[in-house]
Structure 1
Amino acid sequence: MQVGALVTAALFGCLVIQTYVYFTRFIDSPSFKATVAAVILFQLGHFVTVIFTMWKMTVTAYGDPSKLDALPVSAIITVLLSSLTAFLAQSFYVYRLWKLSGKVFFPILSEIFCVVAELATLFVVIKALSMTNLAHFLVEQNVWIAIGFTSRAICDITITVGVTWSLKKQKRARRRDNVKTAMVDCLILWTIENGLATSLMSLLVMAAVRCLLLPNQSHAE
């Protein structure tokens, strides 16, 4: 928890700098700026709840492991804020995919997985509010947790495939313009790198949760 909080603090600092640069140097539509503002506000709340959770788990519960049988409310709110941030970010990328491709198949498919992931997370969060034992809760909500992480990863993958395919089409249309072709190649590389990074992270988290579930499931059996 302490390591996670330190990493969160570092990443939140990077996000604050990025947000400052965005608002001072770029001119976008009010809806885009509102989306960025919402993300930074959600992440501010996320950082605060992470600090509260760390205090609860490493200070208040020090010497009394029984206090860790259930997640603190702050940890549950952290999960909720993370899911809202992911929903906003993925919905923005879906919109960008729609504008870039001019097609509806990949954007609709991606948004369906995005909504499914958000609904699954909200269901788990609501159930977590009445949790009394974390180990039993993970086993009981195993399916919904897996649906949430899997849908999030599939959403990232479909967005990545859709954007890459659209950029490839634009590259073929500009074969004679070497400068624009090089720019499109760079965009394709960035798209694949970012998409794979977020997809891989979702799958790694899901794998970690599955590893936590295995001993609990064996014990229950």
Structure 2
Amino acid sequence: MPTLIPLDNFLGAAFIGIILSTMLYGVSCLQTWLYYTQYSKSDSLRLKLFVALVVILDTLHVALISTAYYHYTVTNYGDYGTLDTVTWSIAVQISFGGLVGLLVQLFFAMRIYVLGKRRLLIPGIIGFLGVVELGCSIAYTAAGYSDRYFSVSGKAGHANAYTSTALTANIVCDLLIAGCTVYYLREGRTAFYRTNKAVTLLMTYALSTCVLAMIFSFVCLITWVTLGEGLIYAVFYWILIRIYPCSFLSTLNSREAVRRAFQEDIPARELSSLETQVDSPDKDKDPPEAARTRPSSSRTFGPFTPNTPLPVYRLAEDGRNSGRIIASAANTAV
């Protein structure tokens, strides 16, 4: 027998959102365990504490949305009037979600700061947008406490203003993170295949995490504007909050794979091959004659000189620049 009031858009949507977000929380827990057991040996205590802070806040957010669902479905079972009230946990979880997002975005902003040769403009904009998002989240929490009812918040326009502003700032912030990371990483491309492979790997990680967050932010904004009467938007918002710790931890745990790809970039056999290519135009000449035909230079890069037939010295310079970029991206900046 159907209930008097359809609950699909409220409790049904909240149930789906909790199930999906807790599945991603399990992935974050696995990544946390891998980080502390395998990938944190060379990290500073500050970074380890930062990871712990993000994971703790993520755990508290899961506890808050679970507490809210228990309040509506168990503690007040059958009380339809309670469904319109804003319980403390459903209001506070917005602020915790905004704080988790801000911390992860500041981490990526610091990475862009290092990749961009310590230019402050773009990281400053990212940090500002993150603070705007957190401020709107806190304002939404305060408005929920003040209004006490979902219907009152909707009529007053508080929810629409704060949520729309926060999600828009979030979309722009993730777009800047993805675009600037890819731009700076593209500067690390060289003539070496494995270096380009490492750069491509980093670019793939950056795009997959930031673009996924942007997609869920955009869908959350659309569902909030068009279907704001229920909690359908919460399905995408709670998944979005889980994406940030997952992307943060996956970035840290993928550093070892990137380091291996880059450290194998210029092995001795590859340098020998390049040296052979440099010397190949003179292979038919006697060594003294070959030496006379090669212009001399005081600037050397290992076995290569700037005046060799192939611009290997440029490859060496590009390799060092690429090494700086990849090392900055592979090693955390926190």
Q: 61, 66, 82: which is aligned to 1:51?
A: 66
Unmatched tracts of structure 1, length 5 or more: 216-221
CA contact (8 A) 2:136 2:166 kept: yes
| Alpha-carbon distance change, 15 to 187 in structure 1, aligned in 2, over 3 angstroms | same
1:147 offset after TM fit, Å? 0.7
**TM-score for the superposition, normalised by structure 2:** 0.61
Question: Aligned residue for 1:5?
Answer: 18
More RCO (CA 8 Å, sep 6+): 2
Distance in 1, Cα, partners of 2:101 & 2:177:
13
User: 2:172 is matched by which residue type in structure 1?
Assistant: I
Structure with bigger helix share is: 1
1:118 maps to 2:131: no
Question: Aligned residue for 2:164?
Answer: 146
Aligned identity (percent) is 20
Distance in 1, Cα, partners of 2:104 & 2:59:
16
Distance in 2, Cα, partners of 1:78 & 1:132:
15
- What is the 5 A alignment of 1:78-117? 78-102=93-117, 103-117=119-133
**TM-score for the superposition, normalised by structure 1:** 0.90
Q: How many residues align?
A: 212
Q: CA RMSD in A?
A: 1.7
User: Looking at CA atoms only, which structure, 1 or 2, has the larger radius of gyration?
Assistant: 2
1:213 offset after TM fit, Å? 4.0
User: 1:78 is matched by which residue type in structure 2?
Assistant: Q
User: 2:46 is matched by which residue type in structure 1?
Assistant: S
Question: Aligned residue for 1:219?
Answer: none
1:135 offset after TM fit, Å? 2.6
Distance in 1, Cα, partners of 2:144 & 2:52:
28
Q: 21, 24, 32: which is aligned to 2:34?
A: 21
1:206 maps to 2:221: yes
Corresponding residue SS for 1:71: coil
Question: Aligned residue for 1:190?
Answer: 205
Q: Which runs of 4+ in 1 moved over 4 A?
A: none
1:62 maps to 2:77: yes
Deviations 1:13-37 (A, max 9, x none): 1111111110111231222111110
CA contact (8 A) 1:70 1:131 kept: no
